[in-house]
Amino acid sequence: MIIAVNTRLLLKDRLEGIGWFSFETLKRITNQHPEHTFLFLFDRPYDPGFIFSENIVPLVISPQTRHPLLWYTWFEWSLPRTLKKHSASLFFSPDGYMPLRLKIPSLIAIHDINFHHRPGDLPPSSRFYYRKYFPLFASRSERIVTVSEYSKKDIADSYRVNPDKIDVVYNGVNQVFTPLKKEDIPRVRNAYTGGMPYYIFVGSFHPRKNLARLMKAFDLFREQSPGVYKLVIVGEKMFMAGDIDKTYARLKHNKDIVFTGRLSPEKLRDVMGASSGLTFVPLFEGFGIPLLEAMHCDIPILASNVTSLPEIAGKSAIYCNPLDIRDISQGMLTLATDPGLQKELVSEGRIRRGSFSWDLTAEKVWKSLDKIIPA
């Protein structure tokens, strides 16, 4: 059987959350099922490292999907012609997009629908596209996978989709994330914070990631912190990041905030492992892979008490109201001043992390695909 896969988010050195989901699941599925041929559908020249096995046929289809009009063109015109030409029997889309004119069964992964609840976070054209087409994708696909029970209920309720057609498939974590040796911690801290202890945030500079409030909370925390702490922010700017720049300029302790940009998994593992804890307080999250990275690095977690985060972190985190700067700051102070709590959270993280792996993710994605394979 020929299974077509939307692989447009497999971008060398630019994998984000959905890109990692695509990479890790497809690497396993294609190798584990040599009886099938997989058409990998790229929108630009691809890296050979994404061709995981001999049963993959890579195709580059124009145009590059750089904005909503081109998304529409690629999915509604270019893709259907390609699928028909190559006699594809099944379509899998790890990022949730699909052709509405599709004539074959489809499985889509909708990781969350933050744009349904927070449309103001997006530029107008993207906002229009997501809010118009994702309800249609959800209704017309044969099955949906999503990454948390929270997202399953949200998709079912918001889009009036039968929950029986939605399968929950948790994310995994890169195996590079392991505890840092104690003797390596000073080296990493010297490299990034002049030897000072620090909290870490990982994620894009998107409004729903709540970075402006996190920085304000850190500024307040520094007024009470037992010693000089820093805040290391790992990620890249996206659209609508102006509020972050304005907030940073007004902070009293902005010199204690370090921006690293994007880091490789290996460097992120070091910076995560040498930190005093992960401060991850977004306003909306379908899963939150940094939570798993922190668990595997044996560091405590401060997380938002909203959306999927309590479901994923469980007892490995303390929680705060992401809208309350004082509550976030108090969480930082609690982690900094309670060594017993730090150890308890790390211990709980070691237990909790056993519930997540990319092997399990790939297995469950395949089970979902298997449900719609034509007889």
Instruction: Give tens-digit pLDDT for 89-124.
Output: 999 999 999 999 899 999 999 999 999 999 998 899
Q: How confident is the model at residue 236 (pLDDT cuts 50, 70, 90)?
A: confident
Task: Report helix, strand or coil for 351.
Answer: helix
pLDDT of 143 above 60: yes
CATH 3.40.50.2000 fits 2-172+357-370, yes or no: yes
Q: Amino acid identity, residue 42?
A: F
Q: What angle do CA 360, 362, 364 make, to 5 degrees?
A: 70
d(CA 346, CA 352): 10
Residue range(s) occupied by CATH 3.40.50.2000 in the chain: 2-172+357-370, 182-355
> Mean pLDDT throughout 65-86?
96
- Domain 182-355 falls in which CATH fold? Rossmann fold (3.40.50)
Q: What percent of the chain has pLDDT over 90?
A: 93
What's the pLDDT at 374? 83
Is the backbone of residue 179 left (phi > 0), alpha (psi -120 to 50) or beta? beta
**Is residue 375 scored above 80 in pLDDT?**
no
* Residues 198 and 230: beta-carbon distance below 8 Å: yes
**The pLDDT value given to residue 245:** 86
Q: pLDDT value at position 240?
A: 53
What's the average model confidence in pLDDT over 159-179? Answer: 97
Query: For 288-330, how does the pLDDT look when each residue is reduced to its tens digit (9 = 90+)?
Result: 999 999 999 999 999 999 999 999 999 999 999 999 999 999 9
pLDDT band at 243 (very low <50, low <70, confident <90, very high): confident
Mean pLDDT of all residues belonging to the chain: 96
The pLDDT confidence band at residue 29, using thresholds 50, 70 and 90, is very high
CA neighbor of 326 nearest in space, from 285, 281, 367: 281
Distance between CA 351 and CA 339 in Å, rounded? 19
Q: Is the peptide bond before 63 cis (omega within 30 degrees of 0)?
A: yes
| Token pair of 171 as six digits | 């994310």
Confidence of residue 251 (pLDDT cuts 50, 70, 90): very high
pLDDT at 267 over 70: yes
Q: Does residue 65 have a pLDDT over 60?
A: yes
Please choose, from the candidates 180, 149, 187, 140, the residue with its C-alpha nearest in 3D space to the C-alpha of residue 167.
Answer: 149
Predicted confidence at residue 357, as pLDDT, reads: 97
Reply yes or no on whether the pLDDT at 206 is more than 60.
yes
What pLDDT does residue 142 have? Answer: 97
Percent of the chain scoring above 70 in pLDDT: 99
In the prediction, which pLDDT does 313 show? Answer: 98
Cβ distance 303 to 328 under 8 Å?
A: no
Sign of the Cα torsion 229, 235, 241, 245 reads positive
**Mean of the pLDDT values across residues 207-228?**
95
pLDDT of residue 167: 98
Q: Could you count the other beta carbons within 10 Å of the beta carbon of residue 162?
A: 9
